Amino acid sequence: MNLSTSATAPTAKVIILIKTAKASEVVPPKFPKQQFSRLKRKDEICADMNKRLMNITTFLLAICFLNCTHPETSVLSSSEPNFHQAETQPDFTAKVIRIVDGDTLEVMYGELPVMIRLAHIDCPEIRSSQPFGKKAKQTLSDLCFGQNIEVEYTGDKDRNGRYICVIYNQNGLNLNKEMMKRGMAWHYKKYSTDKEYERLEEEARQSKIGLWADPDPTPPWQWRK
């Protein structure tokens, strides 16, 4: 009897331990309340981000739809100025904000800076210190810097992306022609067949005005070579 009792007792203990171990495996882990709060906060952040992404996607789709159906009012349209071929009336008014040289200036058209190249003329180069280059720049500056000028766009741009234009200062003076009259430019015959500019160059040459005081000035298109 003593042998039988001592043999069965350990077995019962083993069975109880095994059952207890198996039962503990299925008990869900207990997290602190603070950790549950962090997990909940992460879920809220993810939901908020998804909502924002959905709003952005909806907005972009609406813009694309507007751009396709109403291009004239599209917010995706180019910021390039809406120039039209000039005929008898100036195309637009803009403020001169920078003088680059005798035949190039920058204007502010609305909120858009636009680089303009004066049509029909070619002035001495300032970057390579051509004679009368600085004088031509100063002359153009005196005529229009800081002013609201009227611009006639010819419909062309040069290889540098500058708009080829005829400009008028606040006194209504045609500055392309005025630069010719003051002997600050050549008639750019490679790109202009306007006889008026040819005549103005000849008059300035005969009167030895400006750069024509030099008996044999070098044209800028040759100076640039």
Percent of the chain with pLDDT over 70: 68
Distances (CA, A) of 181 to 79, 133, 152, 196, 198: 36, 16, 20, 11, 11
What does the chain come to in residues?
Answer: 225
| Region 48-67 average pLDDT | 72
The model carries a pTM of 0.63
Report d(CA 110, CA 165) in Å as an integer. 17
**At residue 157, does pLDDT exceed 90?**
yes
The predicted pLDDT at position 39 comes to 60
Active site residues: 117, 125, 162
The predicted pLDDT at position 80 comes to 58
In contact, 132 and 212? CB cutoff 8 Å: no
C-alpha gyration radius of the chain: 40
For tokens 């109403």, what's the residue? Answer: 70
Give bridge partners of residue 118 from the DSSP assignment: 165
**At residue 83, does pLDDT exceed 70?**
no
Provide the pLDDT confidence category of residue 58 given band limits of 50, 70 and 90.
confident
The predicted pLDDT at position 51 comes to 77
Its sign, for the CA torsion 86, 87, 92, 98, is positive
pLDDT tens profile 192-211: 999 999 999 999 999 999 99
The predicted pLDDT at position 63 comes to 63
Listed range (51-65, 73-87, 114-128) with the worst mean pLDDT: 73-87
Q: What is the CATH number assigned to the segment(s) 92-214?
A: 2.40.50.90
| Region 74-100 average pLDDT | 66
